[in-house]
Amino acid sequence: MKGFRYLSGVSTIKLNPEICIGCGVCETVCPHGVFESNSKKARLADPDRCMECGACALNCPVSAISVNPGVGCAAYIIQTWIKGKEAASCGGINCC
């Protein structure tokens, strides 16, 4: 998605290059082209494109990636502020 950018420097994505084995799965599953990889290592080419979906972290075979996934929905975030994370509820089936 070339033209779209959101806020800079907010994503919680981190890649530990020392653990990384360069398998390239992160590059495959990322929907926004955040990663670039060769056979040796992957790197965060454009971390500001990250939307914290968590696909990379879940599928990294050596757990070299960490990211705080969450619900990017304003209504839900307001609920976590008021009720706390445990009690906050999604709009459910009608939202998604």
Partner 1 sequence: MTQPAPIDCDRASAGPKPAPEAIPSGLGALPVITTREVACCGGPAGEPSASFERPGYQVHHFVASFQTTPAGEVPIVQTHLNRRDRLGTLMVRLGIRRGHYRLAPGLYGVGEPGPDSPVLVTANYNLSFDALRRQLSGLDAWILVLDTRGINVWCAAGHELFSTREVVRQIERTALNQVVRHRRIILPQLSATGVSARSVKQVTGFEVVWGPVRAGDLQAFIAAGLIAETSARRVTFDLVDRFVLVPVEINLKVRSLAGSLLVIFILSGIGPSIFSLNAAWSRGLMGAAALLAGFLAGGVLTPVLLPWLPGRAFSLKGAVIGGLTSLIVVYIVRNQARPLELFSLILMTTTVSSFMAMNFTGATPFTSPSGVEKEMRRAIPAQIAALVIAIIVWLSSGFIA
Site for partner 1, rule CB under 8 A: 1, 3-8, 10-12, 25, 28-33, 49-56, 58-59, 61, 68-78, 90-96
Pick 6 or 38: Cβ nearer partner 1 = 6
Pick 7 or 40: Cβ nearer partner 1 = 7
Smallest distance from partner 1 to CB 67, Å: 9
Smallest distance from partner 1 to CB 92, Å: 8
Smallest distance from partner 1 to CB 19, Å: 15
Cβ neighbours of residue 3 under 8 Å, at least 6 residues apart? none
Smallest distance from partner 1 to CB 81, Å: 9
- Beta carbons of 77 and 71 less than 8 angstroms apart: yes
Judged by DSSP in three states, 43 sits in strand
- Cα→Cα distances 1→5, 30, 33, 51, 55, Å: 9, 12, 9, 12, 17
Pick 19 or 77: Cβ nearer partner 1 = 77
What span, in angstroms and rounded, lies between the C-alpha atoms of 3 and 56?
22
